Amino acid sequence: MIKLTKREESDICLSCGECCKRYYITLLKSEIGPIAKELAISQKKFLADYCELHVKLFPKSTKGILTFPTIFFPKRIGDLIKKNLKYSPEGFFVLPQIVLKRKDGICPFLPENLACEIYKSRPEPCKLFPFIAVPGYRENYPFCPLFRKTCKDYSKKSRAYFKKVKKYFNEIEEKDFKKFWRNPPKNGKIFLNETLLGKINLSELEQMMINRKVK
């Protein structure tokens, strides 16, 4: 591994952009304002035009944060779960997220010249990649030329980011999702153990997260 200047790192990134083509980028509420400002649009328009809802489900019946009983899920969602698992767990760990909507499979802010259009206000995962300190994940980046040529210790920055993520889910636990986001995207995708199940809308998510949590 060699030490690269910021200019050299930037040149490598601008010749690749592969990460922008592979991943959905999760947004925290605090990141919406700066991005909308850089685009010179309202936060409401940004959420409507550039974002979508993602809901991730993990089977879980023990008491804990964001754990909800399956019995109150919309029938359509319950049917998708049964079709995938061949049974219906008692409850689920429900993680609702707002992500950047991909256009033709890539980030909507990645132009042909690979120069990020929201670089100054880009989300934290973009700033940390490919040095985000997630055990077992770094090895999944062999496609990244920057990862192959140099290495950085972003463990402190990663821990700070994950604390923000934890705080976000704690706030969602305490508040109504729709009120917390004010104008969240109305449609998106639902995943089971990271496997895409299909589509979901905001009304279905609200029904899933009513105050009947598993005790």
Instruction: Write the pLDDT tens digit of every residue in 163-176.
Output: 999 999 999 999 88
Q: Are 171 and 28 in contact (CB under 8 A)?
A: no
208 is a domain residue: no
Query: Which residues form the domain of 31?
Result: 6-203
Domain count, the chain: 1
22 is a domain residue: yes
210 is a domain residue: no
198 is a domain residue: yes
Query: In the 3-class helix/strand/coil scheme, how is the chain assigned residue by residue?
Result: CCCCCHHHHHHHHHCCCCHHHHCCCEECHHHHHHHHHHHCCCHHHHHHHHEEEEEEEEECCCCCCCEEEHHHCCHHHHHHHHHHHCCCCCEEEEEEEEEECCECCECCCCCCCCCCCCHHHCCHHHHHCCCCCCCCCHHHCCCCHHHHHCCCCCHHHHHHHHHHHHHHHHHHHHCCHHHHHCCCCCEEEEEECCEEEEEEEHHHHHHHCCCCCCC
1 is a domain residue: no
215 is a domain residue: no
Q: Which pLDDT value is given to residue 215?
A: 46
182 is a domain residue: yes
159 is a domain residue: yes
Overall pTM surpassing 0.85 (yes/no): yes
Which residues of the chain register pLDDT less than 50? 214-215
